[in-house]
Structure 1
Amino acid sequence: MSPPSRAETFPAHTPAVSQIFTTVLSQGPLTRLELSRRTGLSPAAVTKAVRPLIEAGYLVEDVAEDAPPALGRPATLVRVDGGRALFIGIKVTGDEIIGVLTDLRCRILVVRHLPLPGRTPQQVLAATTGLVGELLTEADGMDVTVMGLGVAVSGDVDRAEGAVRYSPFLEWRDVPLAELAAMATGLPVTVDNDVRALTVAEQWFGAGVGLSDFAVVTVGAGIGCGLVVHGRVVAGAHGVAGEIGHVTVDPAGPLCHCGNRGCVEAIAGDAALVREVRAATGTEVADAAEVLELAHRGVAAAREAYARAGDAIGRGIATVANLLGPERVIISGEGLAAYDLFAEQIRAAFHAAAFGSAAECDLRTRPLPFDEWARGAAATAIQSFIGSEPVRARSTP
């Protein structure tokens, strides 16, 4: 495994440069005039911000075929050179690690899946380091430098500190993962909550492009939510903004692992579905996949469990809409395999609980495999590279 051959930072870390670059990255190619319109910066400020990006090779110019000429000269477009740099994204689940190698435009070039040998921080770190090594070898063959590593983990993650404060699925508390991974791989590392990482990817490259206010709700083992407010992904003062999985929708409902009753996750999470069907049928249901199979076979207990889950999810989404008024809510996660079983209940509960014009929020489903969640981790690494400084590898004595 070889770390980056040279230390490189993104040119001119200023708000204008970052704004221009992210706008071109997510919405380009664009003319300078259109960049000025979309960012609210003056044409002179756009020109000043674009210049170092072109000189460093991060932006390139093309002649715009359909744009009208400006002052007798062909209009030019600026676009991101995706091949200028590479990034690695890692998604950690309870059973496996998924790694992707992406270009600067977050297009997946290589995917690797690795079974997780265990869930201790040492085991996960060792497996991650090995997987990163494989992806670095792939990058060596492309002769392009890997500029950063993003790691996505479920739970309470403090991105600023690079620490996993609490991950219920991994049973971790206060693990300084960014520092450990940086030392092990030699790469700049960004660690974030997996749903927030997915939200970054959706904001820049997916169904949230061009939206100022939207949310991503994920359904599966847990019920997660990523929030974008006024164009920024929100983590909150303590890093747990968007935890709709722990919004109470039934005070007399089942006990949640968080200690409260009737949380959305305690009703709609995979473990809740399994528990409910086991209790109703008296049979040893193995997992959520078996619950799904039973529901599709018409077993009443399984179908009723999904109906209740849909109601809880819809009420949770309505809470987000009532509080923040997003233009769109993107529903994703591995639980979408059962969407046909609870889609009607989600929408009915949402419209019943959403207040006034909050009900106009666009609910959109978007199935995203875990490869895309790893891509989200790579997106956070790109975000750190062009903006705030991530945790960097320390030299060993």
Structure 2
Amino acid sequence: VIFTLGTGIGCGWVYKGEIFNGYKGNGMESGHCTIVINGALCGCGQRGCAESYFSARGFLSRYKEKTGSEIESARAFFELVRKKDPVAVEILSFGTMVLAELLRNTIHSVNPKKIILVGGLTKSWDLFGENLIERVKEIVFPVFLDYTTIETGSGLSSTYGAASLCFKGEQI
């Protein structure tokens, strides 16, 4: 299962060598799974979606909500975390817990061998990666700890994925 962590949360699942699309092509809208009941309003119109807490848009919205101040980008948000801004640190910490719950739900639902995290937010993996993996290990059924791994992908993963769709079924 691949999660793209960026403006929102994208997700794709390769099952038996094929990309799982769901009945009408809208499968794996995992960023819109409710993790926080009656939580923050998401861009989709619902409340408590995972991407309301762990995404560039989510981080910026939560920061403005708590401080009244706007920050311009995820990069600026992560700089605040690096400078130990207490509000930014708290937002990232809670967001990481939300992402861990989303990964747990995915692990328990589809039993993947591997979860790969890609996207712009993984550039700041050093600020949340260890906490994320530790939290997932705490909350996932122990049987999955033996074989489900979580790792980051390369910076070109989106390009590789798009190219593989273009050449699907062709000999290259």
TM-score (norm 1): 0.41
In the TM superposition, what whole-angstrom CA distance separates every residue of 1:85-105 from its partner, at most 9, and x where no partner exists?
xxxxxxxxxxxxxxxxxxxxx
Which blocks of at least 5 consecutive residues in structure 2 are unaligned?
A: none
User: What code does the residue aligned with 2:84 have?
Assistant: G
CA contact (8 A) 2:60 2:70 kept: no
1:163 corresponds to: none
User: What code does the residue aligned with 2:155 have?
Assistant: L
User: What code does the residue aligned with 1:368 have?
Assistant: G
Within the candidate set 140, 146, 151, 1:364 is matched to 151
Within the candidate set 287, 291, 299, 2:85 is matched to 299
1:126 corresponds to: none
2:119 corresponds to: 333
Distance 1:373 1:365 in 2: 13
What's the offset of the Cα at 1:355? 2.2
Within the candidate set 380, 384, 389, 2:165 is matched to 380
Distance 2:136 2:81 in 1: 23
CA contact (8 A) 1:331 1:365 kept: yes
Distance 1:222 1:276 in 2: 14
User: What code does the residue aligned with 1:294 have?
Assistant: L
DSSP 3-state at the match of 1:224: strand
CA contact (8 A) 1:273 1:305 kept: yes
User: What code does the residue aligned with 2:118 have?
Assistant: S
DSSP 3-state at the match of 2:35: coil
DSSP 3-state at the match of 2:19: strand
Name whichever structure is richer in strand by fraction. Answer: 1
1:218 corresponds to: 4
Name whichever structure is richer in helix by fraction. Answer: 2
CA contact (8 A) 2:4 2:119 kept: yes
Identify the range of structure 1 (327-336 vs 351-360) with the bigger mean alpha-carbon deviation: 351-360
1:80 corresponds to: none
CA contact (8 A) 2:2 2:116 kept: yes
What's the offset of the Cα at 1:352? 3.1
1:264 corresponds to: 50
DSSP 3-state at the match of 2:37: coil
CA contact (8 A) 2:53 2:94 kept: yes
What's the offset of the Cα at 1:384? 4.7
Distance 1:266 1:285 in 2: 16
DSSP 3-state at the match of 1:242: coil
What's the offset of the Cα at 1:311? 0.9
Distance 1:321 1:223 in 2: 16
User: What code does the residue aligned with 1:376 have?
Assistant: G
**Aligned counterparts, 1:1-397, within 5 A:** 215-360=1-146, 361-369=148-156, 372-386=157-171
DSSP 3-state at the match of 2:13: strand
TM-score (norm 2): 0.89
1:184 corresponds to: none
What's the offset of the Cα at 1:220? 1.1
Distance 2:3 2:113 in 1: 14
Distance 1:378 1:230 in 2: 19
DSSP 3-state at the match of 1:284: coil
CA gap of 1:345–1:277, structure 2 versus 1, over 3 A, is same
What's the offset of the Cα at 1:375? 3.5
- Number of residues paired by the alignment? 170
What's the offset of the Cα at 1:321? 0.7
Which blocks of at least 5 consecutive residues in structure 1 are unaligned?
A: 1-214, 387-397
CA gap of 1:367–1:299, structure 2 versus 1, over 3 A, is farther
What's the offset of the Cα at 1:232? 2.1
What's the offset of the Cα at 1:217? 1.3
Distance 2:169 2:17 in 1: 16
Bigger Cα Rg: 1
What's the offset of the Cα at 1:338? 1.9
CA gap of 1:240–1:315, structure 2 versus 1, over 3 A, is same
What's the offset of the Cα at 1:367? 3.7
CA contact (8 A) 1:220 1:269 kept: yes
CA contact (8 A) 1:307 1:341 kept: no
